[in-house]
Structure 1
Amino acid sequence: MDHYLDIRVLPDPEFSQSDLLNAVFAKLHRQLGQKTQGKVGVSFPRFEKRLGDVLRLHGSRHDLEVLLTDNWLQGLKDYTQSTALQAVPELVQYRTVSRVQAKSAHNKRKRSIAKGWLSEAEAWQQIPEGQQKRLTLPFVQLRSLSNGNRLRVYIEHGPLLDKPSDGVFSAYGLSRTATIPWF
């Protein structure tokens, strides 16, 4: 993780910042799954209650160059501005950037029945619809390529750390164990 590049979503009168960030992230997700095999991470350096207008890609110079060989931002160039590959500054901290998923009441019931822990009637009684935990984290919204459904990928930036931690990144560029440099 010695290099990075930023992709900034530009203001546009027709599309919201979050819609454009969702589109960039969806295109990136398809590339990460095909090209980088868990070696490139992402972060959102301007996140607060929302993810902000910058998507930062972290990796080795080689892995980021491989990712950039295809023109995957085609169609979004008028809406984004990318920096050149840059070396990570020397004095940085580290953090994980991970996906958080809330288990829906439907999925909890389904699993409890499948595992034999509860009958269907017991599951409906013990796991009511309103039990689902609502997440307040920022998210990107994508459309599933397999079934066409919309899904939210909730993103949590972990605590700042002084030392990096190795690990593998998902096809979303997220990891519970691998850290990215934070600056």
Structure 2
Amino acid sequence: MDHYIDLRLRPDPDFPPSMLMGALYGRLHRALFDQDANDIGVSFPDHKTGVRARTPGDRLRLHGKHQSLTQLMVQPWLNGMRELVETGDILPVPDGVLHRVVRRRQFKTGNDSQVKRYARRHAIDLEEARARFASSSEPRITLPFVSLNSRSSQQRFALFIEHGEPQPTPADGSFNQYGLSQGATIPWF
């Protein structure tokens, strides 16, 4: 992880930044999937947390080796979005930076499909299933998220992203096809 590239959304009067970030991140996911890349990580340097403010921000930072980032950026995954995204240069990571794990977090949100499955599985009516989910719901989610379509089921889902605590040393490992990892770090600056 010695280089990075910033992709910043340009303001658009027709689409909110969250929708554009979802489209950009979805395209990145497809590109990483098509390349079978496990050496490119992502971060959202301008992310905000909090129940009312949880947003990934308008900047997506890609981390990796210079060769991996170059190979990704020559692919046509940004076609159709180039006018909406300002693409920076591939730059070396500054010296003396901290490192963070950026991972996916999943929550039991008690959405309608879960309630219906629970009701069927336990042979109870929907109202009782809703009541059980309401009483066991987790605290409010404060992490930023990106709305994506699943490649396999075509269902829309929220991908919650947690930026771990800064640490002084990097941790090696691989990244999934969303650019996230449960243990590998990205440089944080």
TM-score computed with the length of structure 2 as normaliser:
0.84
AA aligned opposite 1:181: P
TM-superposed CA distance for 1:139, in Å, is 0.1
- Say if 1:97 and 1:175, in contact at 8 Å, map to a contact too: yes
AA aligned opposite 2:86: Q
AA aligned opposite 1:54: R
Moved more, 76-85 or 64-73: 64-73
- Say if 2:10 and 2:84, in contact at 8 Å, map to a contact too: yes
> Secondary structure, in 3 states, of the residue corresponding to 1:152?
strand
Residues 129, 76 of structure 1: alpha-carbon distance in 2 compared, 3 angstrom cutoff: same
- Alignment partner of 1:129 is 2:136: no
AA aligned opposite 1:175: S
Counterpart in 2 of 1:141? 147
Counterpart in 2 of 1:175? 181
- Say if 2:105 and 2:162, in contact at 8 Å, map to a contact too: yes
Unaligned runs of 5+ in 1: 112-118
- Alignment partner of 1:120 is 2:126: no
Counterpart in 1 of 2:52? none
- Alignment partner of 1:98 is 2:103: yes
TM-superposed CA distance for 1:147, in Å, is 2.2
Unaligned runs of 5+ in 2: 50-54
Counterpart in 2 of 1:72? 77
AA aligned opposite 1:3: H
- Say if 1:35 and 1:66, in contact at 8 Å, map to a contact too: no
Counterpart in 1 of 2:169? 163
TM-superposed CA distance for 1:55, in Å, is 0.0
Counterpart in 1 of 2:92? 87
- Say if 2:115 and 2:133, in contact at 8 Å, map to a contact too: no
Moved more, 141-150 or 17-26: 141-150
Counterpart in 2 of 1:20? 20
CA deviation map 1:126-170 (0-9, x unaligned): x92212324221100001232221100000000000000011111
Identity %: 41
Aligned length: 175
> Secondary structure, in 3 states, of the residue corresponding to 1:78?
helix
> Secondary structure, in 3 states, of the residue corresponding to 1:181?
strand
TM-score computed with the length of structure 1 as normaliser:
0.86
> Secondary structure, in 3 states, of the residue corresponding to 1:34?
helix
TM-superposed CA distance for 1:176, in Å, is 1.5
